[in-house]
Amino acid sequence: MEVKIGVQYAPREIVLESGQSAEEIEHAVSEALTGKSPLLSLVDDHGRKVLVPADRLAYVELGEPTTRKVGFSAL
């Protein structure tokens, strides 16, 4: 699933592909925004952990699950 995270005072958004479900990501964002967790912590498809301070979150956008395309062809 594609996740875009807007961070306050940062000129670019963070974009990552995550294997987590939409519900898991929503739960993590909810905990960060309610103050239960000081950081939003997500794991991408390569196993890297992305940590964003909860007080700097501007927005989180959840996209559709993506499928990998194989081969060379005109779209």
Tokens 């964003």 belong to 52
pLDDT at 66: 58
pLDDT at 64: 76
β-pair partners for 17: 2
| Helix ranges restricted to H, 1-75 | 22-34
Per-residue pLDDT of the chain (75 residues; tens, 9 = 90+): 899 999 999 999 999 999 889 999 999 999 999 989 999 999 999 999 999 999 999 999 998 765 666 667 666
